[in-house]
């Protein structure tokens, strides 16, 4: 096992050699991911990649990765930490025709120009594993947005002023709603 090669690799050759890579790669070197993160993207992704050739004409890449990233919470816009752990397995193919021949239980990786970037592959897998909507897992950590805090304060003013509940200006409309039902004419 060795560290991740930064140059493009021939995955078919890697599979025929049974190459394995294991280590850590800095998140700061993943530009697309870095643009989504809050604060400095310190830390790294721990990975393990295994190439194999299970059949004479089949080539396979299996991997796993784990990292922790800080994304902006969609409720309060403050950093929320997310654990990312994923496993993947690809059948390596050279054409769209071969891709179409895979059964539905196999996921294909189309290798264009006979080379792939392993750091880019890791970055792609992290991006796919991110939550669709990032929020704090523990609601008590989420303080809400500044707008939400202002709204909560305004609602508290309306409900309690001098120890009494204020009259709702729309209360009269509730009475009209009951009178205008069909058949009440």
Range among 32-36, 76-80, 165-169 with highest mean pLDDT value: 32-36
Residue 156 scores a pLDDT above 80:
no
Q: What is the pLDDT of residue 63?
A: 95
Distance CA 150, CA 105 (A): 51
d(CA 24, CA 115): 22
pLDDT score for 95: 84
Tokens matching residue 15: 């599979």
At 52-106, the pLDDT tens digits run 998 778 899 999 999 999 999 888 888 889 999 999 999 988 888 887 888 888 8
* pTM for this entry: 0.72
* 11 phi, psi to nearest 5 deg: -65, -30
What pLDDT score was predicted for residue 119?
94
- The string of pLDDT tens digits covering residues 94-145 is 888 887 888 888 888 888 888 999 999 999 999 999 999 898 877 777 766 5
Q: Is 3 helix (H, G, I), strand (E, B) or coil?
A: coil
Tell me how far CA of residue 55 lies from CA of 15, 16, 88, 115, 161, in angstroms: 11, 10, 19, 20, 77
Strands 44-55 and 108-110 turn out to be: unpaired
Order of all β-strands in the sheet with 20-26: 20-26, 44-55, 58-72, 79-93, 108-110
Q: What is the pLDDT of residue 32?
A: 93
């Amino acid at each position: 096992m060795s560290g991740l090669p930064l140059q493009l690799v021939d995955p078919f050759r890697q599979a025929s050699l049974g190459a394995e890579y294991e280590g850590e790669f800095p998140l700061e070197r993943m530009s697309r991911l870095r643009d989504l993160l809050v604060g400095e993207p310190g830390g790294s992704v721990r990975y393990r990649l295994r190439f194999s050739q299970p059949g004479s004409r089949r080539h396979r890449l299996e991997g796993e990765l784990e990292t922790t990233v800080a994304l902006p919470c969609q409720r309060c816009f403050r950093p929320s930490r997310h654990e990312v752990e994923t496993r993947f397995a690809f059948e390596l193919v050279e054409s769209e025709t071969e891709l179409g021949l895979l059964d539905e239980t196999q996921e294909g990786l189309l290798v264009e120009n006979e080379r792939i970037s392993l750091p880019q592959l890791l970055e792609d897998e992290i991006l796919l594993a991110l939550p669709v909507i990032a929020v704090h897992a523990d609601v008590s950590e989420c303080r809400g947005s500044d707008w939400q805090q202002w709204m909560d304060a305004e609602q508290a003013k309306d409900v309690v002023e001098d120890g009494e509940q204020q009259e709702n200006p729309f209360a009269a409309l509730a009475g009209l709603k009951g009178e205008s039902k069909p058949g009440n004419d």
